[in-house]
Amino acid sequence: MNEDYLIKHSVKAFEIVGPWKLRLTFEDRVEKEVDLKGIDFGFYAPLAELEYFNKVHLTDDLFTLEWPNGADFNPDTLYCWEERRAGWLEESRRWHEKQSHANSQLSEKSLAKEWLSPEEEEAWKHLQ
* Residue 119 pLDDT > 50: yes
**H/E run at residue 11:** strand 11-18
CA distance 14 to 33: 9
CA distance 95 to 32: 27
CATH code at position 31: 3.30.2020.10
Q: Which is it for strands 57-58 and 31-35: parallel, antiparallel or unpaired?
A: unpaired
Question: Quick one: pLDDT at residue 97?
Answer: 86
Give the domain extent around 79: 3-127
How many domains would you assign to the chain?
1
Q: Indicate the pTM of the whole model.
A: 0.73
* Residue 123 pLDDT > 80: no
CB 81, CB 21: distance < 8 Å: no
- Residues 53-97 pLDDT 10s: 999 999 999 899 999 999 999 999 999 999 999 999 999 899 888
The alpha-helical segments, DSSP class H, found in 1-128 are: 50-53, 75-79, 81-112, 118-127
